[in-house]
A and B are shown apart, each in its own frame.
Chain A
Amino acid sequence: MSETESLHRDLGLTDDEFQAICDRLGREPGYTELAMFSVMWSEHCSYKSSRVHLETLPTEGERILVGPGEGAGIIEVADGVAVAWKIESHNHPSFVEPFNGAATGVGGIVRDILSMGARPIALMDPLRFGPLEDARTRYLVDGVVHGISSYGNSIGVPTVGGETVFEECYAANPLVNVACLGVVDTKLMHGRAEVPGQVAILFGSSTGRDGIGGASVLASAEFDEDSLDKRPSVQVGDPFSEKLLIECSLELIRRELVASFQDLGAGGISCPTSEMTAKGGTGIRIDLDNVHRREPSMEPFEVMISESQERMLAVVESEDVEDVLGVCAKWGLEARVLGEITKTGRVEVVDRKTVVADVPSLALAEEGPVYERPIERPHWMAGINAAPAGDEAPEHYGRTFYEMVASPQIASKRWVWEQYDHMIFLGTVIGPGGDAAVIRLPGTETAVAITTDGPGRLCMLDPYEGARHAVAEAARNVAAVGARPAAITNCLNFGSPEGSGVMWQFSEVVRGIGDACRDLGTPVTGGNVSFYNETNGRPIYPTPVIGMLGIVGDPAVAVGIGFRDEGDAIVLLGTTELDDFGGSEYGKIVNDAIGGTPPNLDMGAERALHEVLIAGADAGLFNSAHDLSGGGLAVALAECAFASNRGFSVQIGGTEPHRTLYSESPSRAVVSCGQGLVDDVLALAGRHGIAAEVIGAVAADMCDFSVFATSLEEARSVWEGGLSGHLSARVE
């Protein structure tokens, strides 16, 4: 057995994959070549297990300028205004080293956006952890939030929202996803090297030994007891360089010095060199001696796959090289000619005058293995669907309400988002803490609404239905602020694809997303798949995180969740089913039950609700609007009150009022309006076939549910302390 043949398994390639490489090359790969294949053919880079499923998703629409397959999807949101929108995961690095893992996750998605020629203008961070009672979880939460804060604030991109979810299944495998919005600055760029003779310039940070094999060793394998030893595979971020990289890249584009562009992320230099030439039908001859390095003794394979952060590859005309280097020098960034675009269709790598790799670009970038992995519905599904949903009445209504709002899941996330600069760029019309963030695009009067949603528990109970809920709720969130849902990006977080049960969950989730996106007219513009989210054989819940983008038009009409004026009428829109407790917050928090099936979701009713919310906002009917989700009506009303410091008085009837209060039927929202506009609101809802009922009014300082009442101030302090109470305590 040759040296490389025994090595491939250590690099994460199977015997069959190794054979496929040999067949493609007509010989055994050399050491450097094998390393390049190992990252490019990794699950993380090649989507080998997910591709056959992802191809079923709807990706086209009038507004979609660029769909999946490039750095980020591009959506036209107004005449001549295009935005980039993309979500990524950095789950494994963040578990191994929370600060740098989360920080470099931000850096990576920002460069994806930048690679399209867009200025990154907003970030969102959907986070999922285990229960806060665990000291290591508190350490992870603190480190991840600090990492995002440190990196995002320093590069000057506001973090305008996200989620913070706590669930047992994430204890040994937290999810750190990050979404980024950008606005195309002067020219839409593509990662495609089409012209032989052009020159590739590598600029940004130097290349070091950090992040060797991040894509293959960390992101494409499950965890066990030894995983913390993988810390050297986590990259270390330098936000200062990233900020310079942003400004330098945008200046290069503005001065029309760049033909095409791609960032370096997973797979290091191997990735953009093979992908850009494969897409453009060209090749590249790389001179490794020209790579500016952090340390002198690096092996060629290390240079080729290092995932050192804050680097970009620009392909430029040869006569522009001096100007490009000049702009980089102005921004204090190292830049050197990495190589020349050729006609060969191959990636040739030369180290000290010796060819150390010579492989077809297509083989690396596009001809990786594609798997149709076995799929089987897990045997435990029947049991969990038959298990109690936990809908028994509470012993004490007031105490139960406090228990709900104090649970970290529902409690105020202020402790998290106050650590993020969420205001820079003067675009944050609605910031963290609402249904969706509303961002005015720089230099325009156009705004977009963005949100993320990922109901893992519902997807565990029924991956198809859960995924439909994920898309519907994300769309409802943007409709609640008055925006029309336009497109999604998705981050699909799952266990190992080598398990047939996980693959079944994955296929069902993708089917659910596809159906929901077709129903709602919101194409998929791209995203990311993160497999191997399991530790010691225990996978996380199937967790598709949907990043929804909506178009607001005039930011002045955007509606927030906070009540406005005392005496305003409170109207409940939509129909409440009294037994929608499957996978509910109430079931879990109050009765310690996770079971049943997700609520029935009628996409016709969902669409109609969106029309009511958008039309009402446009007409200026609503003083507040908030969709109903986790914790149902009771929690939604409380959140409207906490956001505004105005209370409410509502009439809750029925023989089992807890069902009205906490049922989680979808396709509902609560709005408030001036008493004089009540008829207009009811008529609007009627026209769209949406049930609407005046349930009470905005009041001074009580949360009065008629079956019980609490003081607003006390309830609010319970809600404010639910998360920060755990985290302000010293970490053991």
Chain B
Amino acid sequence: MTARVGIVVFPGSNCELDCERSFERLGASTEFVWHDDNTLPDVDIVVLPGGFAHGDYLRTGALARFSPIMHSVAEHAAAGKLLIGICNGFQVLCEAGLLPGALRKNEGLKFLCKWTELRVEVPGTPFTARAERGQLLRIPINHFEGNWYADPDTVARMRANHQIVLRYVKNPNGSLDGVAGISNERGNVLGLMPHPERACESLLGSEDGAVIIGSMLDHVMHMQPSPAGV
């Protein structure tokens, strides 16, 4: 059995081909899901890839959350299945209310494409099972709006609930608490600004992205109980 991955393509998405390549490289089978469809195919994992869905006009992710497929994506998450939003996908998940907080423009008011080091703060999640606590991952960022923010109560609750899964070792964009990746309360939805799909091959500079993608595939393959039961 291979893990089945659905990669949602919005008009303006641009990392879908890279996600396809890296998920398949690690053993998954993938298919693209058009944003205008009403239902997801039978998949174990849904990926909202990076890019500029609907041109990022109005506000990043603000239009994409209204795409027809998003109902089905929310149901997929509600069923406890894995959902990951990478970069623009993270922004869409925040706008859709599937993850807390919001992503503002980078502190330096510049787009940033660079390698960053991330620290795994919460191992043992479906997204970090292959990592140890404190392990450093070298994965690049590529965004203008990656400066995550939430109100203090939300942040306190998230800390207590181990939802701040990945932090930057050196904060590149002013993100609150150095947040690079967060999960929902149940732990089956992850949003992260860095691009793990860009770091799955030593020829391109790092294989650390495979820790995150591989963990997800392991999780599906081991048919573990829903994360709510972990």
- Residue positions of A touching B, CB distance < 8 A: 149-150, 153-156, 238-240, 243-244, 331-332, 417-426, 428-429, 440, 442, 555-556
Contacts and interface: CB of A to CB of B under 8 A. Distances in A.
Contacts of B52: 153-154, 156, 239-240, 243
Interface in B45-64: 51-52, 54-57
A426 B113 contact: no
A623 B54 CA distance: 44
A420 B14 contact: no
A430 B114 CA distance: 14
A271 B166 CA distance: 52
B87 to A, nearest CB: 10
A55 to B, nearest CB: 40
A429 B203 CA distance: 6
Contacts of B55: 154, 238-240, 243
Interface in B1-32: 11-12, 14-15, 17-18, 21-22
27 contacts: A149-B111, A150-B111, A153-B52, A153-B111, A153-B142, A154-B12, A154-B14, A154-B55, A155-B14, A239-B55, A240-B11, A240-B56, A243-B11, A243-B12, A331-B11, A417-B113, A418-B110, A418-B112, A422-B113, A423-B113, A423-B204, A424-B14, A424-B142, A425-B17, A426-B18, A426-B22, A426-B201
Contact of A154 (B22, B56, B110): B56
A240 B12 contact: yes
A423 B138 CA distance: 14
Contacts of B195: 423
Given A331-B11, A423-B198, A156 B142 contact: no
B181 interface: no
A423 B140 contact: yes
A421 B110 CA distance: 12
Contacts of A419: 110-113
Given A154-B12, A154-B56, A425 B18 contact: yes
A476 to B, nearest CB: 24
Contacts of A424: 14-15, 18, 142, 198
Interface string B126-170: 000000000000001010100000000000000000000000000
A556 B201 CA distance: 12
A442 B18 CA distance: 10
B113 A428 contact: no
A420 B113 contact: yes
Contacts of A239: 52, 55
Contacts of A556: 203
Given A332-B11, A418-B112, A424-B18, A555 B198 contact: no
A624 to B, nearest CB: 16
B91 to A, nearest CB: 14
B110 A426 contact: no
A425 B15 CA distance: 8
A244 B22 contact: no
Contact of B204 (A155, A238, A428): A428
A206 to B, nearest CB: 15
B225 to A, nearest CB: 34
A239 B22 CA distance: 26
Contacts of A425: 17-18
A155 B55 CA distance: 9
Contacts of B201: 426
Nearest to B108: A728
A442 B17 contact: yes
Given A238-B55, A424-B198, A442-B17, 18 more contacts: A153-B142, A153-B144, A156-B51, A240-B54, A243-B52, A331-B11, A417-B113, A418-B113, A418-B114, A419-B111, A419-B112, A421-B113, A422-B113, A423-B140, A423-B204, A425-B17, A426-B18, A426-B21
A426 B111 contact: no
B142 A423 contact: yes
A559 to B, nearest CB: 13
Interface range on chain B (Cβ under 8 Å from partner): 20 to 34
Given A154-B56, A240-B12, A332-B11, A421 B204 contact: no
Contacts, number: 78
Given A240-B55, A424-B142, A156 B14 contact: yes
Nearest to B22: A426
B11 A244 contact: yes
A423 B198 CA distance: 7
Q: Which 7 A-B residue pairings sit nearest by Cβ, starting from the closest?
A: A156-B14, A240-B55, A154-B52, A419-B111, A149-B111, A421-B113, A421-B142
A154 B195 CA distance: 16
A440 B21 CA distance: 14
A426 B198 contact: yes
A244 B12 contact: yes
Contacts of A426: 18, 21-22, 197-198, 201, 204
B48 to A, nearest CB: 15
Contacts of A155: 14
A487 to B, nearest CB: 25
Given A154-B52, A244-B12, A424-B142, A555 B113 contact: no
Interface string B98-113: 0000000000001111
Contacts of A331: 11
Contacts of B22: 426
Q: Which of A150, A153, A421 neighbours the largest number of chain B CB atoms within 10 Å of its CB?
A: A421
Nearest to B112: A418
Nearest to A158: B113
A62 B54 CA distance: 43
A240 B18 contact: no
B112 A240 contact: no
Contacts of A153: 52, 111, 113, 142, 144
A5 to B, nearest CB: 45
Contacts of A240: 11-12, 52, 54-57
A150 B204 CA distance: 24
Interface string B203-224: 1100000000000000000000
Interface in B166-210: 195, 197-198, 201, 203-204
Nearest to B55: A240
Contacts of B142: 153, 421, 423-424
Chain A CB within 10 Å — which of B17, B21, B198, B203 has the most? B203
Contacts of A442: 17
A598 to B, nearest CB: 36
A120 to B, nearest CB: 12
A643 B170 CA distance: 20
Contacts of B204: 423, 426, 428-429
Nearest to A248: B11
Nearest to A152: B111
A413 to B, nearest CB: 13
A419 B14 CA distance: 17
Contacts of A243: 11-12, 14, 52, 55
A332 B35 CA distance: 12
A332 B142 CA distance: 26
A182 to B, nearest CB: 15
Contacts of A417: 113
A428 B197 CA distance: 13
A6 B110 CA distance: 49
B171 to A, nearest CB: 15
B226 to A, nearest CB: 32
A423 B57 CA distance: 23
Contacts of A154: 12, 14, 52, 55-56
A331 B12 CA distance: 10
A277 B197 CA distance: 45
B54 to A, nearest CB: 7
